[in-house]
């Protein structure tokens, strides 16, 4: 499996990466200097308390937010270079579909923006893949929250990106559909050797999907645990349960670090 | 009930029957309320006319219909001319609005100056620009078309500017993730996101263009509805006055309705708050903001003076009627008679203020109060709202002759004209605001058993304020327009009369001075309301100020 993954996606290197919003007394330090490398072709799950800076890390990797200090490099290149090649894709926390375009129009737009030929058959196939067959002509307003998120995933995947950034992509999707997507979709990017970062609040999902789970502390984000997930781990095996318990323990440790949110950890 | 036959595709037939069964009663109920409201208005009108028969005030719907039938040729020709002028002005004004909005969006730093410039030009009193344009253009439809354009461009410019920026940041992030720049974002996101705002602006513009064309015809045209209206009023021809006002009202409502229909067909999602609050300046701290505001105002003023002077020079217009800034400076400051000239202006301004302030406050207050009453009595709202929406689209000034007929040439009539001009837009805006209270908030209150009044105070009023202030701001130029027209048509006092008088006596120095004074005065009033708005919203609805 590892051989298959090697190749297309770049390794992502964050070197002393930091972000502070605002200046003076109102400054918010969202990400403390962070040194992390995400191996080429791997899927890494980022988990951490709400507001700890996960989205900010993702946005800096996508080149949407300029770091206050440090750098992000993707196989030595800057995020902007990959943007220009149409090699990046990001699923935003709110699906961010354009309301005046149908599902098909939204997915096809990604191909157009990435300067790739707009192949409607491929577009429809991708829509079917996320379980939205029959909704190709629906407007986003006619979809449920979870359906919108799936359409956004289809938009991300249709361009076959080399770097895939998913910010809580399944937040509003029901448990069953989520489980189905979790078994079905990863094959799509794994086969292409995409380097992927997935932000999620579900420990189960993180362990089920990822090759590696990085746990952040409360704001400013710092790494409290960095755990490998063995290949072909079964979640309900003893090993799987141990790993999930480790992630959960690290999460509550991250909570406890923050005096303001210690109560939650205690509950 | 329709029973599904064995050979029919059952589910389809059932679904059809169900939607029919569900939809028809609802539609017909709303329709019945609207028709009921309209009929009630007509009947009241006719009854009032019968009651006042012989007093030469009011012509009822029956008289109006009879008059229109007898004079259909004359009315048809006048209407065609006014419609043509209004349509040309509509196109020109909206093109200008689009151009201005594009400048602001492409060069964001230019926004305060462009918006300030646009506001001052919008505040130019049509009553005076009409005669000045008449002299500049000579005979022909030029002034009417220009006035129609001036009457519409601002109400398109503001929502369009808001719409071009209304898109959430993540839509632009999406473009950037694929390495696309400002141009793609403009085409893919901004233009499409602005479309509903543009259409909403065009809808308001349609009746306003008709108003502009008619006021243009008041000021010395040869043909058109405005000419007929003026003649009828001067001749105390009650039936003609009412017939003309009715036609103007119906045309305005139809134009408003037609554009609303187009807008719904093209862009089903309507923008929430049409006229967003004035933008905050970037500098923090009160002193910094005041400084920056003063700088922007000064820059706008200098640019306007330069443009004014440049246009006059470029077209080589005679200084006799095309005054330059330095002429006015001499007239008001350096000439030996300057003090007298200033005194004349101050006196007229004081008179105008005594009409416009009470009218403005009364119209705004009554609109807000009635909106609240209607929310507490939803049954009544179904009948009143359609009539109010229809009347909002009527350029009240075109019916000013009626109010003059009814209330005479004194203060009461003028104040009423101002109040009525403001009342309907304020009522409709407040009602829309009141209805915008988020359903969830209302639901939460309902679970605590909160009564209608509690819900009104705690959930609906805060939601109403942004719409109320938007109406209050846009009402400032509208009130000034109304008061100047009324003064000129009726009272023979104040700035409106001064402008009409000086136009006919070719006292162009005084005329231009009055124009500048009125424009700057109403722009300042607009800015003042905007400042109050920011203060209040910052306390009760900070989410409205982005
Ligand atoms: N544009 C911004 N301006 C100012 N502060 C910001 C901005 N974006 C994020 N922040 C702050 O940075 C911190 C981290 O935000 P971020 O969105 O990265 O959190 P997150 O980990 O993604 O949270 P969640 O799980 O709730 O999505 C928060 O405290 C937030 O208030
Ligand atoms: Mg986030």
pLDDT in tens, A59-87: 999 888 888 888 899 888 888 888 888 88
Residue B228: both structure tokens together: 């007929």
pLDDT at A11 over 90: no
pLDDT digits (tens, 9 = 90+) for B194-222: 888 888 888 888 888 888 888 888 777 78
Give the distance (Å) from ligand 2 centre to CA of residue B14: 45
CA distance B336 to B334: 7
Structural contact between residues A247 and A44, judged by C-beta atoms closer than 8 angstroms:
no
Q: Is residue A8 lining ligand 1, measured as CB closer than 6 Å?
A: no
Closest C-alpha residue for ligand 1 atom 14:
A53
Q: Helices B111-122 & B142-164, crossing angle to 10 degrees?
A: 150
Tens-place pLDDT, residues B18-43: 333 344 444 556 667 777 777 887 88
- Yes or no: say if B459 and B441 are a contact pair by the CB < 8 Å rule: yes
Return the CATH superfamily for domain B54-268: MetI-like (1.10.3720.10)
Higher pLDDT: A24 or B286? It is A24
Among all bound ligands, the one having the nearest atom to the CA of A48 is 1
Q: Does B177 touch chain A (CB under 8 A)?
A: yes
* Joined tokens for residue A261: 């949110």
Q: Are strands A43-47 and A12-21 parallel, antiparallel or unpaired?
A: unpaired
**Structure tokens that stand for B199 in this block:** 């259409």
CB contact under 8 A, B178 and A64: no
CB contact under 8 A, A92 and B184: no
Query: Of A171, A165, A178, which is closest to residue A94 (Cα–Cα)?
Result: A171
Exposed / middle / buried, residue B206 (Cβ in 10 Å: 0-12, 13-18, 19+):
buried
> What's the topology of domain A1-79+196-267?
Rossmann fold (3.40.50)
pLDDT at residue A9 above 60? yes
CB of A171 closer than 6 A to ligand 1?
Answer: no
Rounded Cα distance between B238 and B232, Å, is 7
Smallest CA separation from ligand 1 atom 23, residue: A51
Nearest chain A Cα distance for residue B196, angstroms? 11
Closest Cβ–Cβ partner in A85, A98, A110 for B171: A98
> From the CA of B170, how far away is ligand 1's center (Å)?
14
Domain B274-546 = CATH 1.10.3720.10: yes
Give the Cα separation of B158 and B173 in Å (integer).
25
Q: Which of A90, A99, A141 is the closest to B177 by Cβ?
A: A90
User: Residue A26: is its pLDDT beyond 80?
Assistant: no
Whether A69 contacts A16, CB under 8 Å: yes
Q: Is A167 on the interface with B (CB under 8 A)?
A: no
List Cβ neighbours of B9 (8 Å cut-off, separation of 6 or more): none
Nearest CB to A113 within list B170, B175, B195: B175
B234 class by beta-carbon count within 10 Å (0-12 exposed, 13-18 middle, 19+ buried): exposed
**Where is A261: in which H helix or E strand?**
none
Could you tell me how far CA B189 lies from the centroid of its own chain? 28
Strands (E), B474-521: none
The structure tokens listed for A82 are: 């990959």
- For the entire predicted model, the pTM comes to 0.75
Find the angle CA(B341)-CA(B343)-CA(B345) to the nearest 5 degrees.
75
Residue B136's pLDDT is 80
Residue B168 backbone zone (phi > 0: left; psi -120 to 50: alpha; other: beta)? beta
- With an 8 Å Cβ cutoff, are A96 and B173 in contact? yes
User: What is d(CA B392, CA B247) in angstroms, rounded to the nearest whole number?
Assistant: 15
Q: Report the gap between the CA of A213 and the closest CA in chain B (Å).
A: 25
Residues of chain A with C-beta less than 8 angstroms from the C-beta of B177: 62-64, 83, 88-90
A1 pLDDT exceeds 60? Answer: no
- Tell me the best of A50, A53, A251 to mutate to test the pocket of ligand 1, counting ligand atoms within 8 Å of each CB and taking the most: A53
Top pLDDT among A57 and A145 is at A57
What's the pLDDT at B542? 58
Residues in chain B: 546
> In terms of C-beta density within 10 A (0-12 exposed, 13-18 middle, 19 or more buried), how is residue A4 classed?
exposed
Q: What is the pLDDT of residue B4?
A: 37
Contacts of A152 in chain B (CB under 8 A): none
Q: Is the CB of A217 under 6 A from ligand 1?
A: no
Ligand closest to Cα of A65 equals 1
Rounded to an integer, what distance in angstroms lies between the CA atom of residue B533 and that of residue B279?
11
For chain B, which ranges sit under pLDDT 70? 1-31, 53-57, 267-291, 382, 385-386, 389-399, 401-402, 404-406, 408, 436-452, 455-456, 458-459, 540-546
Q: Between chains, do B179 and A86 touch, taking CB under 8 Å as contact?
A: yes
Q: Which of B163, B170, B179 should we substitute to test contact with A (largest number of A Cβ atoms within 10 Å)?
A: B179
Ligand found nearest the CA of A218:
1
Q: What is the mean pLDDT of residues A177-194?
A: 76
The single-letter DSSP state of residue B180 is -
Residue pair B538/B545 in contact (Cβ under 8 Å)? The answer is yes
Q: What is the pLDDT of residue B328?
A: 84
Query: How far is Cα of residue A74 from the mean position of the Cα atoms in its chain?
Result: 16
The shortest CB-CB distance from A100 to any of B174, B176, B192 is to B192
d(CA B433, CA B425): 12
Quick one: pLDDT at residue B28?
Answer: 59
- pLDDT attached to residue A124: 92
Q: What pLDDT is attached to residue B77? A: 92
Distance CA A15, CA B281 (A): 37
Complex-level ipTM: 0.83
B171 — contact with chain A (CB < 8 Å)? yes
Domain spans of chain A? 1-79+196-267
Residue B438: per-residue pLDDT: 59
d(CA A222, CA A31): 7
Distance set, CA B265 to CA A138, B259, B272, B322 (Å): 17, 10, 17, 46
Nearest by CB: B174 against A85, A86, A96: A96
Counting Cα atoms < 13 Å in the Cβ hemisphere of B189 gives 23
Q: What is the dihedral of CA A151, A154, A158, A159, to 10 degrees?
A: 80
Residue B266 touches partner A, C-beta closer than 8 Å: no
Chain B residues in contact with A85 by the CB 8 A cut-off are: 179
Q: Which two three-digit tokens encode residue A151? A: 């359409």
User: Which one, of A87, A52, A82, A75, lies nearest residue A253 by Cα?
Assistant: A52
Contacts of B46 (CB under 8 A, 6+ apart): B60, B61, B62
The answer to whether B168 contacts A99, with C-beta atoms less than 8 Å apart, is no
CA–CA gap between residue A134 and residue A150 (Å, rounded) = 14
Mapped onto helix, strand or coil, the DSSP state of residue B165 is: coil
Q: What percent of chain A has pLDDT over 70?
A: 91
First-to-last C-alpha distance (Å) of chain A: 41
Range list for CATH 1.10.3720.10 in chain B: 54-268, 274-546
Residues 6 or more apart in contact with residue B285 via CB below 8 angstroms: none
**Half-sphere exposure (CA, 13 Å, Cβ side) for B417?**
35
pLDDT at B64: 86
Q: Is the omega angle on the peptide bond into residue B224 within 30 degrees of 0, that is, cis? A: no
- Contact flag B179-A64 (C-beta cutoff 8 Å): no
Residue A51 CB less than 6 A away from ligand 1: yes
Neighbouring-strand partners of residue A199: A46, A167
Say yes or no to pLDDT of A261 above 70: no
Q: Is A80 on the interface with B (CB under 8 A)?
A: yes
Q: Where are the alpha helices (DSSP H) in B109-190?
A: 111-122, 126-137, 142-164, 169-177, 182-185
Q: Which residue has the tokens 């389809």?
A: B12
Residue of B nearest to A161 (CA): B178
More confident residue, A34 or B296: A34
Enter the tokens of residue B167: 């898109």
For helices A145-157 and A120-129, what crossing angle results, to 10°?
A: 130
CA-nearest residue, atom 8 of ligand 1: A56
Measured in Å, how far apart are chain B's first and last C-alpha atoms? Answer: 53
| Alpha carbon distance A192, A164 (integer Å) | 11
Q: Report cis status (omega within 30 of 0) of the bond before A220.
A: yes
Q: Which residues, 6+ apart, have CB-to-CB distance to B51 below 8 Å? A: none
């Amino acid at each position: 499996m590892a051989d298959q993954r090697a190749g297309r996606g770049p390794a992502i290197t964050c070197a002393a990466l930091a972000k502070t919003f605002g200046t003076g007394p109102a400054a918010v330090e969202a990400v403390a200097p962070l040194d992390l490398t995400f191996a080429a072709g791997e899927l890494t799950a980022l988990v951490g308390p709400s507001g700890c800076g996960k989205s900010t890390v993702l946005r800096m990797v996508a080149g949407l937010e300029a770091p206050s200090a440090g750098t992000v490099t993707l196989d030595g290149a800057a995020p902007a270079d990959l943007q220009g090649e149409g090699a990046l894709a990001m699923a935003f926390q709110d699906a961010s579909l354009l309301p005046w375009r149908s599902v098909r129009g939204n997915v096809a737009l990604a191909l157009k923006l990435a300067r790739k030929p707009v192949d409607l058959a491929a577009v429809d196939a991708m829509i079917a893949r996320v379980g939205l067959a029959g909704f190709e002509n629906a407007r986003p307003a006619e979809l449920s929250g979870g359906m919108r998120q799936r359409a956004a995933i289809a938009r991300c995947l249709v361009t076959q990106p080399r770097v895939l950034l998913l910010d809580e992509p399944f937040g509003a999707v029901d448990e069953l559909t989520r489980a189905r997507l979790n078994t079905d979709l990863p094959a799509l990017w794994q086969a292409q050797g995409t380097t992927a970062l997935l932000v999620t609040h579900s420990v189960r999902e993180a362990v089920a999907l990822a090759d590696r789970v990085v746990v952040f502390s409360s704001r400013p984000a710092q790494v409290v645990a960095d755990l490998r997930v063995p290949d072909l781990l079964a979640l309900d095996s003893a090993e799987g349960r141990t790993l999930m318990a480790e992630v959960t323990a690290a999460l509550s440790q991250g909570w406890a670090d923050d005096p303001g949110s210690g109560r939650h950890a205690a509950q | 009930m329709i029973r599904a036959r064995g050979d029919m595709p059952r589910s389809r037939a059932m679904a059809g029957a169900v939607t029919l069964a569900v939809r028809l009663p609802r539609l017909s109920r709303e329709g019945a309320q609207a028709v009921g409201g309209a009929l009630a208005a007509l009947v009241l009108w006719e009854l009032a006319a019968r009651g006042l028969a012989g007093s030469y005030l009011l012509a009822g719907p029956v008289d109006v219909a009879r008059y229109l039938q007898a004079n259909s040729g004359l009315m048809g020709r006048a209407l065609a001319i006014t419609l043509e002028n209004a349509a040309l002005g509509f196109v020109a004004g909206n093109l200008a609005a689009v151009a201005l909005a594009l400048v602001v969006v492409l060069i964001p730093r230019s926004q305060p100056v462009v918006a300030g410039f646009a506001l001052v030009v919008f505040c130019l009193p049509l009553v005076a620009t009409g005669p000045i344009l008449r002299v500049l253009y000579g005979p022909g439809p030029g002034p009417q078309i220009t006035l129609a354009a001036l009457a519409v461009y601002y109400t398109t410019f503001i929502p369009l500017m808001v719409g071009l920026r209304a898109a959430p940041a993540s839509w632009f992030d999406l473009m950037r993730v694929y390495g696309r720049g400002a141009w793609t974002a403009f085409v893919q996101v901004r233009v499409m996101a602005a479309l509903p705002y543009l259409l909403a602006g065009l809808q308001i513009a349609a009746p306003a263009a008709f108003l502009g064309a008619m006021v243009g015809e008041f000021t010395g045209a040869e043909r058109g509805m405005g000419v007929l209206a003026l003649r009828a009023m001067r001749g105390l021809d009650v039936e003609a006055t009412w017939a003309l006002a009715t036609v103007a009202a119906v045309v305005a409502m139809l134009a408003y309705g037609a554009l609303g229909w187009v807008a719904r067909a093209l862009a089903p999602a309507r923008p929430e708050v049409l006229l967003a609050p004035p933008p905050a300046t970037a500098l923090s701290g009160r002193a910094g903001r005041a400084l920056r505001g003063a700088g922007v105002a000064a820059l706008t003023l200098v640019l306007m003076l330069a443009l004014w002077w440049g246009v006059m020079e470029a077209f080589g217009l005679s200084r006799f009627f095309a005054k330059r800034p330095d002429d006015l400076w001499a007239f008001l400051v350096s000439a030996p008679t300057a003090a007298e000239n200033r005194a004349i202006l101050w006196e007229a301004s004081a008179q105008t203020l005594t009409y416009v302030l009470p009218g403005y406050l009364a119209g705004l207050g009554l609109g807000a109060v009635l909106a609240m009453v209607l929310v507490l009595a939803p049954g009544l709202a179904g009948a009143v709202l359609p009539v109010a929406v229809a009347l909002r689209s009527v350029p009240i000034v075109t019916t000013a002759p009626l109010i003059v007929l009814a209330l005479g040439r004194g203060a009461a009539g003028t104040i009423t004209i101002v109040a009525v001009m403001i009342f309907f837009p304020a009522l409709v805006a407040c009602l829309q605001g009141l209805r915008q209270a988020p359903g969830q908030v209302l639901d939460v209150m309902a679970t605590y058993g909160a009564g209608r009044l509690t819900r009104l105070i705690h959930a609906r009023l805060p939601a109403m304020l942004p719409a109320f202030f938007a109406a209050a701001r846009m009402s400032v130029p509208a009130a000034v327009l109304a008061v100047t027209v009324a003064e000129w048509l009726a009272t023979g006092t104040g700035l409106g009369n001064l402008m009409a008088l000086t136009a006919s006596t070719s006292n162009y120095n005084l005329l231009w001075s009055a124009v500048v004074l009125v424009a700057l005065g109403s722009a300042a009033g607009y800015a003042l309301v905007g400042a109050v708005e920011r203060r209040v919203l910052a306390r009760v609805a900070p989410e409205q100020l982005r």
